[in-house]
Structure 1
Amino acid sequence: MGRSSVRGEGTRPRGRHDGSPGSGGAAAAGGRRSGRGGRPGAAPAGAGTGRTDRPSRRAPKSGKRRVLRWVATVLALLILGTGGAGYLYYKHLNGNIRKEDLTLGDKQMADHKANAAGQTPLNILLIGSDARDSEANQKLGGAKETFGGTPLADVQMLLHLSADRSNISVVSMPRDTMLKMPKCTDPESGKVYAASTVDVQTNESLGRGGPGCTVAAWYELTGITIDHFMMIDFAGVVSMADAIGGVPVCVDANIHSRGSDGKGSGLKLKEGTTSVKGKQALQWLRTRYGFEDNTDLGRTKAQHQYLNSMVRQLRKGTKLTDPGKLMSLAEAATSALTVDKGLDTVKKLYDLAEELKKAPTDRITMTTMPNVYGTGRFSGRVYPKADEAEQVFRMIREDIPLDGKASKRKTPVVTDKAAPDDEIAVSVRNATGTDTQGPAQGRANTVKELLTDAGFTRASVDSQNTEPAARTGLLYPSADLEGDAQAVAKALGIPVAQVKKSTEVSGIVLAVGADWREDGAYPAKAAEEKTPESANPLNGADEKACMHVNPNYTW
């Protein structure tokens, strides 16, 4: 079975040809290609995941089947797990799993906020690598000029499991997204990749030290704390699809993804629903030319349809009743993935599965990062859509369900009691600048006066240059100041979710963001808990979803 490039396994640098035919995507990608750089990395990550001391209610043989089914499901999509703590193939399966560092960036990710029940959300970044580093991957991926070179992170999906385990939200970032890369350090060679000063295509993050840099890029853009990652390559997708036995997908017309110029994945299906597996499943996931407007956005929708359908199949259990198939699926699953060191054993993956399976299928929501197309030389590339992309990211950060259903969120537990208002020192910074506007003049001083009027007489203005922030936030350095920071937030009407612990400050800092450029009270927007339509939400229980075929690719 093919493997992704791994530390010490002879990864070689290579260049890429932008837009070269057949230079497809990652575990679910294809189409235009871009990127140069290093190779993948992975890493340790935290996030407790579930109980492991539940006694089995079945005979040993049943327990073994259940652990295999669990491994298959979790590694297929990470959305489902089934019970059982069997030891079958335990050491062997552990040996199949490849591990890397969680993050290669130089910024420490913020801690999760616990709710009143002591629960915290769980965020997992799913990465599809387009590595051509093995005979199997080369045969499946094509594009001979890329063989043995640096992989690209052509599929990137953030899976968010809510703190109360009632729902799952998935946000895809198109691989053509342009953003600035963070500073990353390769853990093996020690090579430092400086932060980019110009926009770079997001899939190049994998070449800046490994998947840990992809994690760092996501954190830099979204502010979402990421607990784990999982990465899969071409051969992994095929072996998983074969082991599962087929996934139903739908097209609204006959499709053949192959143009006169040779572009396309080769996918050929008749109108209606077809169960795809193996190479055909990979073609579906990589198809760009033939779906919708022939861009990465259509391909992302097709990936969402496939993954939702896979979850429904696995939860029905119809494909996983034969012990031989279960063993095959467990082998394929563990051999297909590279994970962070917080998920480096079957037991840890089992604990994760126990948590993921708590969310019902009809509470799974697939979305795409709201975006806009670039212009000029960046035509065909996409950028995060200013307010709406941040809205989705904020909802994930604040554990707000993307399906619009009522949340069971509770106010975070704060053990630190606030000091009297007039004893709390607050430093106010002006972070109101944006990509198109400079900082709003005098904002830090104006907000400082608001604090003084509210009784926080030790408030002061920090005049140092401040990085722009899309949203106003309160930062505090240690737990003994959390209560004080929340008291400041309450006085100004700032949501408690925007109060965060940070090692980059030595006292309480109020960064006035671009969302508060105007005078007056902090703007409360009641509509902010609604997922933008531009995110194209798709419910996991929707069995009527069908891809629109581009008229130029019908037969």
Structure 2
Amino acid sequence: MLGSDYRDEANAKLGGGWDTIGDPARADVQMLVHISADRKNASVTTVPRDTIVDIPECTDPATGTKYKATKNMINESFGRGGAGCTLATWEKMTNVYIDHWMTIDFTGVVSMADAIGGVDVCVNQNVFDQSKPGSGTGGSGLRLTAGTHKVQGEQALQWLRTRHAFGSDMGRAKAQHMYMNSMMRGLKSQNAFTDLPRLTGLAEAATKALKVSEEIGTVKKLLDLALLLKDVPINRITSATIPVLQAPNDENRLILNPADAPKVWEMLRKDVAMDKNGDPAPAESGQPGADPSAPAPSTEPTPQASSAPPASNPAKIAVQVVNGTGVGAPPVGKRATAIAGELVAKGFSLAKADGALTPEKATVVRYATDAQAADAQSIAAALGIPATSVQKSAAASKITVLVGADWREGATYPVQAPPEAGSIPESADVLNGTDTSCMDIYAPFQWK
């Protein structure tokens, strides 16, 4: 879910920036929404706009302009090829396959907030988010007295845009999470997810307010997507901001926290709930306490894999193997050669080692087209790599096994226990859907 700062006249009236009308848009708000495979929990994970990340090579679908790979703030990815480039940036950062994207601009936020009928928000002190003292510019215009208020229309946009009064971009992300959680509580209390005419109306409003990926571009498809949340209890919805640190050479920029951020991505990749409110997970096959007679737990394949043709004869599958072990330590020599040899021994006679060294924390199998999905899964199975680590990628030219830093030795991928439910790091500023706390206001933006 992307919040675009695109400025045309209508958006500029709502958010200033008249001097940037027509400039390439940025996505200052970026959230990954995950609904679990069993539809029993959901999460929203934000990456702050100033976070420095690797942005892959992208092509703008509207103009054909090609942009070289770069390292820059994540909000810049949107202007280098639209939502598709931002999606590719997230996939590179997380190793998570992302099914869909949505973008919304200022006018879209206003119209959706009106369609919903308002959302309750709360502040601990009186707030007026005006121009930053001494700057003469900025500020969302949000003005509220201490306590709870229902905001909609332009006032909802002001809440979602407020940054200075909430202290920082991190504070703004928390306020956005509060808004979304409150919205879900409101819709649930109104039985909106079982009121088909109401939900259809919201989907119709969304088709006008949002730009979405082709797969969810109709009222029916948006309705089907919304219905996935019908059975998710409020206390199983978790919001988080990816753990970050101040960039070493720039106090105004952030980097992913190398100790904590990978844990969040792993939980998303392995479909582990960020809350502790679900039923205890059964022991997995092959793990202590598991019932050896029970069937192995299923993993949800990528959407393409479920409709792909059967896997080809292994001897006819072209696959390259890349050494990605050089994360946090020097790369293991000839690691790609060793794994390619293992594949050849298992009948994948076209497997070849690539000379590139591409650091990657977690081992992953990537493929380029839907027709390759089943072949990629068969390669992963041969090496013991879990199905959840098989991903479609626009950057892949052929099926590629990227041997990550989590597999520095041995011929079979080491079995690793998934993280425990609810073990998300505290540095992720976690907020449960039931949390009704209020935002504190930075002193210069309080009023009496």
Taking structure 2 as the reference length, what is the TM-score of the superposition?
0.78
> Which of 87, 98, 120 is the matching residue for 1:226?
98
> Which of 453, 466, 479 is the matching residue for 2:374?
479
Name the residue aligned to 2:388.
497
Matched, 1:364 2:256: no
| Structure 1 residues 525 and 239: alpha-carbon distance in aligned structure 2, compared to 1, 3 A threshold | same
Name the residue aligned to 1:201.
73
Partner Cα distance (1:448, 1:188) in 2: 39
Give 1:46-61 correspondences, 5 Å limit: none
Partner Cα distance (2:248, 2:117) in 1: 43
What is the CA deviation profile of residues 271-329 of structure 1, one whole-angstrom value per residue up to 9, with x for unaligned ones?
222222222211111111121xx221110000000111011112222899999999986
Partner Cα distance (1:411, 1:324) in 2: 35
What is the CA deviation profile of residues 456-476 of structure 1, one whole-angstrom value per residue up to 9, with x for unaligned ones?
699998361231111123568
SS of 1:169's equivalent in the other structure is: strand
Q: Is the 8 A contact 2:322 2:358 kept in 1?
A: no
Give 1:2-17 correspondences, 5 Å limit: none
Q: CA RMSD in A?
A: 3.9
Q: 2:432 corresponds to which letter in structure 1? A: N
| Structure 1 residues 370 and 525: alpha-carbon distance in aligned structure 2, compared to 1, 3 A threshold | farther
Name the residue aligned to 1:213.
85
Name the residue aligned to 1:515.
406
Partner Cα distance (1:176, 1:283) in 2: 20
Superposed displacement of residue 496, structure 1 = 4.7
Q: Is the 8 A contact 2:380 2:387 kept in 1?
A: no
Partner Cα distance (1:334, 1:319) in 2: 18
> Which of 134, 137, 149 is the matching residue for 2:23?
149
Q: Is the 8 A contact 1:425 1:456 kept in 2?
A: no
Q: Is the 8 A contact 2:203 2:222 kept in 1?
A: no
> Which of 248, 253, 261 is the matching residue for 1:381?
253
Taking structure 1 as the reference length, what is the TM-score of the superposition?
0.64
Superposed displacement of residue 510, structure 1 = 5.0
Name the residue aligned to 1:267.
142
| Structure 1 residues 235 and 511: alpha-carbon distance in aligned structure 2, compared to 1, 3 A threshold | closer
Q: Is the 8 A contact 1:171 1:366 kept in 2?
A: yes
Partner Cα distance (2:433, 2:232) in 1: 11
Name the residue aligned to 1:553.
445
Q: Is the 8 A contact 1:416 1:481 kept in 2?
A: no
Matched, 1:351 2:224: yes
Partner Cα distance (1:347, 1:231) in 2: 18
| Structure 1 residues 505 and 144: alpha-carbon distance in aligned structure 2, compared to 1, 3 A threshold | closer
| Structure 1 residues 178 and 480: alpha-carbon distance in aligned structure 2, compared to 1, 3 A threshold | closer
Q: Is the 8 A contact 1:243 1:325 kept in 2?
A: no
| Structure 1 residues 321 and 254: alpha-carbon distance in aligned structure 2, compared to 1, 3 A threshold | farther
Partner Cα distance (2:330, 2:55) in 1: 22
Matched, 1:164 2:38: yes
Matched, 1:139 2:13: yes
Q: 2:440 corresponds to which letter in structure 1? A: H
Q: Is the 8 A contact 1:236 1:332 kept in 2?
A: no
Q: Is the 8 A contact 1:473 1:499 kept in 2?
A: yes
Q: 1:412 corresponds to which letter in structure 2? A: T
| Structure 1 residues 523 and 537: alpha-carbon distance in aligned structure 2, compared to 1, 3 A threshold | farther
Q: Is the 8 A contact 2:110 2:157 kept in 1?
A: yes
Q: How many residues align?
A: 411
Superposed displacement of residue 545, structure 1 = 2.2
Q: Is the 8 A contact 1:166 1:360 kept in 2?
A: yes
Name the residue aligned to 1:411.
298
Partner Cα distance (1:473, 1:145) in 2: 44
Q: Is the 8 A contact 1:418 1:484 kept in 2?
A: no
SS of 1:464's equivalent in the other structure is: strand
Superposed displacement of residue 431, structure 1 = 1.4
Q: Is the 8 A contact 1:417 1:484 kept in 2?
A: no
Partner Cα distance (2:348, 2:45) in 1: 41
Partner Cα distance (1:536, 1:297) in 2: 9
Superposed displacement of residue 407, structure 1 = 5.4
Give 1:173-322 correspondences, 5 Å limit: 173-196=47-70, 199-258=71-130, 259-261=132-134, 262=136, 263-291=138-166, 294-317=167-190
Superposed displacement of residue 151, structure 1 = 1.6
What is the CA deviation profile of residues 86-115 of structure 1, one whole-angstrom value per residue up to 9, with x for unaligned ones?
xxxxxxxxxxxxxxxxxxxxxxxxxxxxxx
Name the residue aligned to 2:306.
none
Q: 1:236 corresponds to which letter in structure 2? A: G
What is the CA deviation profile of residues 234-265 of structure 1, one whole-angstrom value per residue up to 9, with x for unaligned ones?
11212222333321112222222233223432
Q: Is the 8 A contact 1:429 1:461 kept in 2?
A: no
What is the CA deviation profile of residues 357-396 of structure 1, one whole-angstrom value per residue up to 9, with x for unaligned ones?
23222221111112111133x3221112224222222222
Partner Cα distance (1:319, 1:359) in 2: 13
Superposed displacement of residue 499, structure 1 = 4.8
Q: 1:334 corresponds to which letter in structure 2? A: T
Q: 2:232 corresponds to which letter in structure 1? A: A
Q: Is the 8 A contact 2:7 2:25 kept in 1?
A: yes
| Structure 1 residues 323 and 359: alpha-carbon distance in aligned structure 2, compared to 1, 3 A threshold | closer
Superposed displacement of residue 482, structure 1 = 3.6
Deviates more, 1:213-222 or 1:527-536: 527-536
Q: Where does the alignment leave 5 or more consecutive residues of structure 2 unmatched? A: 285-296, 302-308
Superposed displacement of residue 269, structure 1 = 2.0
| Structure 1 residues 143 and 418: alpha-carbon distance in aligned structure 2, compared to 1, 3 A threshold | closer
> Which of 203, 206, 221 is the matching residue for 1:333?
206
What is the CA deviation profile of residues 480-534 of structure 1, one whole-angstrom value per residue up to 9, with x for unaligned ones?
5744532421xxxx54533557794867x65431234478996666573422222
Q: 2:187 corresponds to which letter in structure 1? A: L
Partner Cα distance (1:488, 1:212) in 2: 31
Q: Is the 8 A contact 2:366 2:376 kept in 1?
A: no
| Structure 1 residues 535 and 518: alpha-carbon distance in aligned structure 2, compared to 1, 3 A threshold | farther
Q: 1:363 corresponds to which letter in structure 2? A: R
Q: Is the 8 A contact 1:418 1:487 kept in 2?
A: no
| Structure 1 residues 483 and 516: alpha-carbon distance in aligned structure 2, compared to 1, 3 A threshold | closer
Q: 1:545 corresponds to which letter in structure 2? A: S
Q: Is the 8 A contact 1:129 1:231 kept in 2?
A: yes
Partner Cα distance (2:429, 2:257) in 1: 13
Deviates more, 1:459-468 or 1:533-542: 459-468
Partner Cα distance (1:164, 1:177) in 2: 32
Q: Percent identity?
A: 46
Partner Cα distance (1:206, 1:154) in 2: 9
